Amino acid sequence: MKFSSWILIFLVCNLTVSTISAFRLSRSQPTERISGSAGDVLEDDPVGRLKVFVYELPSKYNKKILQKDPRCLTHMFAAEIYMQRFLLSSPVRTLNPEEADWFYVPVYTTCDLTPNGLPLPFKSPRMMRSAIQLIASNWPYWNRTEGADHFFVVPHDFGACFHYQEEKAIGRGILPLLQRATLVQTFGQRNHVCLKEGSITVPPYAPPQKMQSHLIPEKTPRSIFVYFRGLFYDVGNDPEGGYYARGARAAVWENFKDNPLFDISTEHPTTYYEDMQRAIFCLCPLGWAPWSPRLVEAVIFGCIPVIIADDIVLPFADAIPWEDIGVFVDEKDVPYLDTILTSIPPEVILRKQRLLANPSMKQAMLFPQPAQPGDAFHQVLNGLARKLPHERNVYLRPGEKLLNWTAGPVADLKPW
């Protein structure tokens, strides 16, 4: 008798839980919630789950560099600057380093810009090394763990390899001093030297206000099938073709330049954002590096991203189910892109559009000022919180040394 009453109570509880979830589903009618653990993770609140201590570095590492070149605030590597600003005023910040779970080192390594606006990474290893030496000598927390509970934001092309050219970046490898730290970077490619185990991939910075100001009414019918604007051949650096984008962009051009379904060209139209909102698919091929702000723009404007980059690791891959949202095409399948895209069933396309319309998805891709719940800053903190509690091997035994302070090219060892 008692057993059957327990069964009854259990069934009643089950029913109530399922009705609650059904209610949540029906509430968001035009958008679709990603059911399961992945979707709910996007809306986690990191406040209360971790504490971050922000080192007070001399301003030559951050503020002075920014003053020298304010263009750093608007280019696609601006995440490092906004991350520091967010953390300084966030509730997860603690002023007591003894209770901190994570330590943040605010050093702007991607702010040395050419007149064209492109960052030069040649001084970055020295700058990073100098910052680490500073914190190692002034605070005991670096030596305690050799940096395993510190995190850095390195949004450059190939992350902490600090070079824009892939062969040289692979040759350098990740900076030896950062071997144990957590890296927050935009670059992500599986089995690549410059992606460390445990790194957090973030989207590149895209200006939220600019994108918001170019929104068009949602009932504008989507009449472009595939949309892309950008280079196919980088004639300055790779005139023969074949190096840039591993030949993928050139293949797209050669195969589909006369295809009426593909609206692709190298122009820079002023209606770029509006056109993306009128397209069903937006191509996001790799360039010199596999990541690009096109992914962010596609997600914000509801255009299904077609990702052409082998083995790429997309931002927040553990929180966002990119397989359900975007279309992945191998680089070797690029000549058959039209067959692939036209053979997708319409229900699948509609479902992807519904998932993209989810506002939490769009919010997770942005770095708004001031920070809003669910945005990319919070996703980074969520990622850091998921790595807690630290493992036993994070804390070193006294006298144990794992990092080699003299490793790396000779020029990197010079003071900055």
Piece in contact with other proteins (CB under 8 A), picked from 1-9, 330-338, 376-384, 394-402 = 330-338
Q: How many CB atoms lie within 10 A of CB 268?
A: 8
For residue 362, give Cα distances in angstroms to 134, 199, 311, 326, 374.
38, 22, 23, 14, 9
> x/- site string to other proteins, residues 346 to 365, per CB under 8 A?
x--xx--x------------
> x/- site string to other proteins, residues 140 to 179, per CB under 8 A?
------------------------xxxxx-xx-x------
Hey, which bits of 55-157 come out as E strands? 102-104, 150-153
Question: To which residue do tokens 């001399």 refer?
Answer: 58
User: Which of 70, 115, 399, 415: binder of other proteins (CB under 8 A)?
Assistant: 115
Our CB check for other proteins shows the closer of 43 and 234 to be: 234
Piece in contact with other proteins (CB under 8 A), picked from 6-14, 39-47, 185-193, 373-381 = 185-193
Piece in contact with other proteins (CB under 8 A), picked from 13-21, 55-63, 199-207, 256-264 = 256-264
Residue 191 sits in the site that holds other proteins (CB under 8 A): yes
User: Which of 280, 355, 364, 403: binder of other proteins (CB under 8 A)?
Assistant: 280
* Spatial distance between the Cα atoms of 200 and 173, rounded to a whole number of angstroms: 17
* H/E element, 229: strand 224-229
Residue 311 sits in the site that holds other proteins (CB under 8 A): yes
Q: Taking the alpha carbons of 124, 128, 131, 133 in that order, is the dihedral positive or negative? A: negative
* Spatial distance between the Cα atoms of 302 and 359, rounded to a whole number of angstroms: 10
Residue 33 sits in the site that holds other proteins (CB under 8 A): no
User: Which of 4, 26, 343, 406: binder of other proteins (CB under 8 A)?
Assistant: 343
* H/E element, 9: helix 2-27
* Spatial distance between the Cα atoms of 145 and 42, rounded to a whole number of angstroms: 30
Tokens of 151: 């995190």
Tokens of 404: 């080699």
| Strands laid side by side in the 52-54 sheet | 52-54, 102-104, 150-153, 182-185, 200-201
Taking the complex as a whole, the smallest distance from the CB of residue 313 to other proteins amounts, in Å, to 12
Taking the complex as a whole, the smallest distance from the CB of residue 331 to other proteins amounts, in Å, to 8
Our CB check for other proteins shows the closer of 247 and 368 to be: 247
- The footprint of other proteins (CB under 8 A) covers 30, 114-116, 118, 120, 122, 164-168, 170-171, 173, 189-193, 217-219, 221-223, 225, 234, 236-238, 241-243, 246-247, 250-251, 254-256, 258-261, 280, 288, 310-311, 331-332, 334-336, 338-339, 341-344, 346, 349-350, 353, 409-411
